[in-house]
Amino acid sequence: MRRWSFVVLLFGFVISSFSLFGEMVEGTLMVTYQTDEKGERLDRVRFWIRDEEAKQSFFPRGQAYVEDKKEKSRMVVIKHLPPGHYTLHFLVPNQDGYFDSFPLRTFFMAPGETVKISQRLTPVKKGPPPLQQSTLKGKVIVSYEGESSQETFRTVHFHLVDQYGEVRVSPRAEEIIEDPLTGGYLCMLHEVPVGEYQVEFFREAMEIIESLPITVKGGRVVSIHHVFLKEASEALDSD
């Protein structure tokens, strides 16, 4: 009698164990993923799940996902996933290098548990495309004359000042030549960075005589000609 009681108890224990194991053997995986704030290429993102035996499954299948249009994300729920170690690999259309690289995700599925994985597929932060050399610099021709003798303007110099008040270009003395057409002076400045400038004319004591605006564009030549009026010329002569 005791022997049969023991068998019945053992059989009941085995049945209970199988029932319990059957309830706990499988888990649930929830995968949420998103791209940028516009949901760029979100509808083309897929992922593989690979188990320890290298068996893999492809998701999402058809329309088996939940899309959050506000957050621009998708969630895939995978039920009845056996316990074990897994690898999750995202497949993203990225031949143009739009997205940054992202690592493989690994996780362990314990019996009866729910594992949540969230992945943001971040676009690469890129600056503006590099400009060609011809568009980085321009040329500036500065010429000046006056209603006085040419000798008067030998003491006049000039430089280019940017919008922050910094002197960006200052020609050497040998770069300023006599202009046979006007009787004044002429200078060509090469490789001037693009931007907004003031051409400041000054004397050796850095006293500003005149300031004129110019805009330098890439691959272009901009010229400026200034005539010092008789009053300015006389003031220079008096000094």
User: Domain extents for the chain?
Assistant: 25-120, 133-238
Domains 25-120 and 133-238 share a fold: yes
Looking at residue 165, its pLDDT comes to 83
Among 2.60.40.10, 2.30.40.10, 1.10.10.10, 2.60.120.10, name the CATH number for the domain at 25-120: 2.60.40.10
Q: pLDDT, tens digit, for every residue of 84-137?
A: 999 999 998 888 888 888 778 999 999 999 999 999 998 887 665 555 544 689
Where is pLDDT greater, at 225 or 130? 225
User: Range with the lowest mean pLDDT among 46-55, 64-73, 198-207?
Assistant: 198-207
pTM score of the predicted model: 0.46
Where is pLDDT greater, at 150 or 119? 119
Nearest to 115 by CA among 20, 45, 34, 49: 49
Looking at residue 182, its pLDDT comes to 75
Q: pLDDT, tens digit, for every residue of 2-34?
A: 444 433 333 343 333 333 334 558 999 999 999
Task: Specify the CATH number of the domain 133-238.
Answer: 2.60.40.1120
